[in-house]
Amino acid sequence: MRSSVMRPAWSQHMSRIVVMVMLASLVSGCAWMQRLNPFSSDDDELRPAPLMEFTREARVRTEWSGSVGAGLGRRYNRLQPAIRGDRVYTADAYGMVEARNRETGERIWQTRIGVPEGALLGAIAVWERDNDRGSFVTGGVYADDFAVFVGTTRGDFVALRADDGGELWRVTLSSEVLAPAASSRDHIFAVTGDGRLRALSRSDGRQIWSYDTQVPVLSLRGSSAPVFSDPLVFQGFSNGRLTALRADSGQVVWEVPVGVPTGRSELERMADVDGSPLITPAGAFAVSYQGAVKSVRLQDGFTQWERPMSSFVPLAEGYGQLYVVDEQGVLHALDQGSGSVVWQQDGLLRRGVTGAASVGAHVVVGDSEGYLHVFAQTDGRPVARTRIDRRGIRVAPVSDGSRLYVLGNSGRLEVVRIESD
């Protein structure tokens, strides 16, 4: 562990941010780039798979829907909704944060944490919004019983009162915040794009401890979110490692490689742990880009099993299974105890698939065309589909156990229930 000194983010990290944006575009948009190449073959290997044909066994019923600000913008922002108590908290990419009643969708409060670049009199200029030059919210949303936390590309980490949205405090960190926070009783944990995990005081944002890692030359745009499971906080880093630290002191308990950088070029050596780790009684699960999915023992980090895999979206669980969406859009169901493949669903190849969420007897993902795909947890067969947002879905649906909260790229928030026919 190394103590850190607060310093401005822009001058030190701008070049790395530019590289990450370019790389994320290449990784996610290689098919589009290939189609621009006049010498490439016009085959189906690079095209998104067509929508699957299947016999419908369930329907997706909307309970309520609403609009969240101006949406998620064109950057690869994953501003997943946060559920706490009887409320759902959301944010757009341009500084708007709001709370709604989970049952009715009624807006309880709405506030703005900053003025977007190019805004005029508090309103986002249309030209700036469409070219995404005004977006700046990149980390969030996280909520506990008392506060809501969001982070920005400017390095601001902001705490709002959960009851009315008033600002509690704001601190400036050393780099952009690209993931939701986590919390213990006394601390808020925030990770920044320069490879630092910090514990901040819940009362005023004062830094309690900081843990630093070596950041690779190239990495995906994004960051694994910290996960608190008393007494430890777990964090995946862009160097391919999963680290468990004591939440009270920042002392490293164990650290394991999930993805091992290999290859001759920096591109080949990318091994980010970009999807948040999943912590269950069976162990800690993490997956890396161009690496593996791995199960490790909570107390000492001992590897229980691992399987080659490449993914950069969050993991999900259900029916004793681990759900992993790989970089090609294949949905894998792995046995949590052994890592053996229970089933896999490859009907969504190259469709820009989100991370999964389980609800009831189903596992659900979104895609870049805005469709919500519903599969049976038992064998992965498709049972339902609906379109939520024509601008696409980038963030994984959020489950409360009976319903799903789906936020589309345009800012459309839809709360749905899966009902068997």
Top pLDDT among 221 and 334 is at 334
Give the range of the structural domain holding residue 351, as residue numbers without chain letter: 51-74+343-421
Structure tokens at 397: 């649906």
pLDDT at 214: 85
Share of the chain above pLDDT 70, in %: 84
Please determine, for residue 57, whether its predicted confidence score (pLDDT) is greater than 50.
yes
Q: What is the CATH number of the domain that holds 348?
A: 2.40.128.630
pLDDT in tens, 346-365: 999 999 999 999 999 999 99
pLDDT band at 217 (very low <50, low <70, confident <90, very high): low
**What's 379-413 look like in SS3?**
CCCEEEEEECCCCCCCCCCEECCCCEEEECCCCEE
DSSP 330-367: -EEEEETTT--EEEEE-TTTTS-----EEETTEEEEE-
Q: What angle do CA 181, 182, 188 make, to 5 degrees?
A: 85
pLDDT at 403: 98
pLDDT at 85: 96
Asked whether residue 183 is domain-assigned, the answer is no
Share of the chain above pLDDT 90, in %: 75
Can you tell me which residue has the tokens 């944010």?
91
**Strand 232-236 relative to strand 241-246: parallel, antiparallel, unpaired?**
antiparallel
Asked whether residue 184 is domain-assigned, the answer is no
Give the global pTM.
0.87
**Strand 252-257 relative to strand 371-376: parallel, antiparallel, unpaired?**
unpaired
Asked whether residue 69 is domain-assigned, the answer is yes
Taking the C-alpha atoms of residue 28 and residue 9, their distance in angstroms, rounded to an integer, is: 26
Asked whether residue 102 is domain-assigned, the answer is no
Structure tokens at 139: 């980390």
Compute the mean pLDDT over every residue in the chain, rounded to the nearest whole number: 87
Residue 177 DSSP code: B
Asked whether residue 407 is domain-assigned, the answer is yes
Query: Sheet containing 167-172: which strands, arranged edge to edge?
Result: 137-143, 147-152, 156-161, 167-172
Q: How many domains does the chain have?
A: 1
pLDDT at 121: 40
Asked whether residue 334 is domain-assigned, the answer is no
Mean pLDDT in residue range 8-30: 42
Instruction: Of 324, 327, 267, 254, give the one whose Cα is nearest residue 294.
Output: 324
Q: What angle do CA 115, 98, 175 make, to 5 degrees?
A: 50
pLDDT in tens, 377-403: 999 999 999 999 999 999 999 999 999
Please determine, for residue 6, whether its predicted confidence score (pLDDT) is greater than 90.
no
Least confident of 159-163, 274-278, 345-349: 274-278
Asked whether residue 357 is domain-assigned, the answer is yes
Asked whether residue 185 is domain-assigned, the answer is no
pLDDT at 11: 40
